[in-house]
Amino acid sequence: MSFSQLELSEPLLQAIAEQGYEKPTPVQQQAIPVILQGRDILAGAQTGTGKTAGFTLPLLQLLLNQPKPRKPHPVRALILTPTRELAMQVYESVRTYGKHVPLFAEVVFGGVNINQQIRRLQRGADILVATPGRLLDLLYQKQVDLSQVQFLVLDEADRMLDMGFIKDIRKIIDILPERRQNLLFSATYSKEIKLLAEQLLHDPVEVAVARENAAADSVSQRVYAIKKEYKRELLSWLIGHNNWQQVLVFVRTKHGADRLCRQLIKDGIRCSALHGDKSQGARNRALQAFKNNDITALIATDIAARGLDIEQLPHVVNFDLPAVAEDYVHRIGRTGRAGAEGEAISLVAPEEAHLLFAVEKMLDKRIPRVADTGYEPVALEPQKTARPKAPQGKAGPAGTKENKGRSGRRQSRNKTPQAATAAPAKAKRTRRPRQPNKA
């Protein structure tokens, strides 16, 4: 199938051609015709499948099909996203695909000055991309009018629920006109998503492009079983030895991100941390530097990295495995996007084995182990004793998890005689990590 078979008008096809897209991705093939028919959809599409164009292109087309509104254009399509980064990204996509059509888009999200957003909104916007919290602020201040909204998109709805946005979303939906077309995109189908879909969608067409929770086939996945204390050194070595130019590294906590970043800088690796405690300006700068290849490694927490679209990102490293197995799929979805080859490496310490098994259970497959890690082999075995359950859903306060991690390490050092007597020098790599970034 080609884009020209999709009943999109010439200016949209031109923008697609300028992006170099040759044919629609499976989610686009399925979703675009259905959305153009005016149907609600429930789309199970993970990030990296081209889902953004899958809803943006038909939305632009549907708006173009309508009589041109008077200026300032009222908001006719509302797209809600969980994070500011995803909001920016979707907004950029709308602008890219809509660059040859006379439609306006705006984006609003928290963490930046609201007054500038208010001023921009006053100029009118056909499509508004927003995070729920900031949109509610604007609604309460009567600075945005949603009375003309005919299209609602919930992008990465599962993540919005994980982040506790359900109440905000419901408040926003209550404000919207009842007659509208609803598009719900979610990488996973939890009970909560199914419930929301039942309440929100009218006779939806279900679109699913990958098996629930399946990882993209274009990503090669590997596990390094390694003691926690050697992870940083191994990561430096992998970057330097393989001469990686761009690697996204996931850690579980904000403090963990900052600490790892400081350590990598000492190893001569250019890197920045991306997490929720950073100001929006700092987050944008870090992301831009990463996209421009000014830094080699971006160290990110799950929330901050959600929805990031960095073209052809070749390497993703799970420095820590996520507490919620589904996040693994989102993380590795950063690589191997839209058919490009990608590599996802997980550094797994014995105490994280249960998280790895949860991921493998969800994927219904075993992730290959690297036989020779260069370090003393460690076994990843199921826990015999019951351990406290990992927190589900939200990435809780960074401090909490961080502290748990610390005390866990200290205990094992103090209490386990083998650990105390194991000579790290022996266990360490004989290969020295070389300085990867020459000045």
Q: Which residues of this chain interact with ligand AMP, rule CB under 6 A? A: 21, 24-25, 28, 47-53, 309, 311, 337-338
Please give the Cα distance from 396 to 389 (Å, whole number): 14
Looking at beta carbons only, is 333 or 374 nearer to ligand AMP? 333
At its nearest, how many Å lie between ligand AMP and the CB of residue 338? Answer: 3
Q: Shortest approach of ligand AMP to residue 82 CB, angstroms?
A: 13
Instruction: Please report, for residues 49, 149, 248, 317, 337, the alpha-carbon distance to residue 334 in angstroms, rounded to integers and kept in the order given.
Output: 10, 31, 8, 10, 7
In degrees, rounded to 5, the angle at the alpha carbon of residue 191 between the alpha carbons of residues 185 and 197 is 40
CA–CA distance, 228 with 266 (Å, rounded to integer) = 19
DSSP letters spanning 95-113: HHHTTTSS--EEEE-TTS-
CB 94 within 8 A of CB 132: no
Q: Reduced to 3 states, what is the DSSP secondary structure of residue 128?
A: strand
Query: By C-beta, is 44 or 50 nearer to ligand AMP?
Result: 50
Cis check: omega of the bond before 424, within 30 degrees of 0: no
Q: Measured from the CB atom, is 15 or 149 closer to ligand AMP?
A: 15
Cβ at position 312, least distance to ligand AMP in Å: 8
- Closest CB 300 distance from ligand AMP, rounded Å: 16
> Is there a contact between 376 and 221 (Cβ–Cβ < 8 Å)?
no
Question: 278-289 burial, b for 16+ CB within 10 Å, e for fewer?
Answer: beeeebbebbee
Pick the closer one to ligand AMP by CB: 45 or 152.
45
Comparison of 45 and 196: residue with beta carbon closer to ligand AMP:
45
Instruction: Considering the complex, state which of residue 178 and residue 311 has its C-beta at the smaller distance from ligand AMP.
Output: 311
Q: What is the DSSP string of 214-275?
A: PPPTTEEEEEEE--GGGHHHHHHHHHHHTT-S-EEEE-SSHHHHHHHHHHHHHTT--EEEE-
| Comparison of 93 and 373: residue with beta carbon closer to ligand AMP | 93
Exposed, middle or buried: residue 208 (CB in 10 Å: 0-12, 13-18, 19+)?
A: middle
Sign of CA dihedral 323, 319, 302, 314: negative
Residue with smaller CB distance to ligand AMP, 309 or 327: 309
Q: How far is the CB of 283 from ligand AMP (least distance, A)?
A: 18
Report the C-alpha gap between 324 and 392 in whole angstroms: 6
Instruction: Considering the complex, state which of residue 232 and residue 337 has its C-beta at the smaller distance from ligand AMP.
Output: 337
- Measured CA to CA, the distance from residue 34 to residue 26 in angstroms comes to 13
> Least distance in Å: CB of 268 to ligand AMP?
30
Contact 160, 166 (CB under 8 A): yes
Token duo for residue 61: 């087309």
Minimum distance, C-beta of residue 38 to ligand AMP, in the bound complex (Å): 22
- Of the pair 28, 437, the CB lying nearest ligand AMP is at 28
Rounded to the nearest whole angstrom, what is the least distance from the CB of residue 54 to ligand AMP in the complex?
7
| Shortest distance, position 100 Cβ to ligand AMP, whole Å | 17
State the nearest-atom distance from the C-beta of 46 to ligand AMP, in Å: 8
Cβ closer to ligand AMP: 30 or 52? 52
Any idea what DSSP says for residue 349?
Answer: -
State the nearest-atom distance from the C-beta of 74 to ligand AMP, in Å.
Answer: 26
CA-CA distance, 53 to 94, in Å (whole number)? 8
Total residue length of the chain: 439
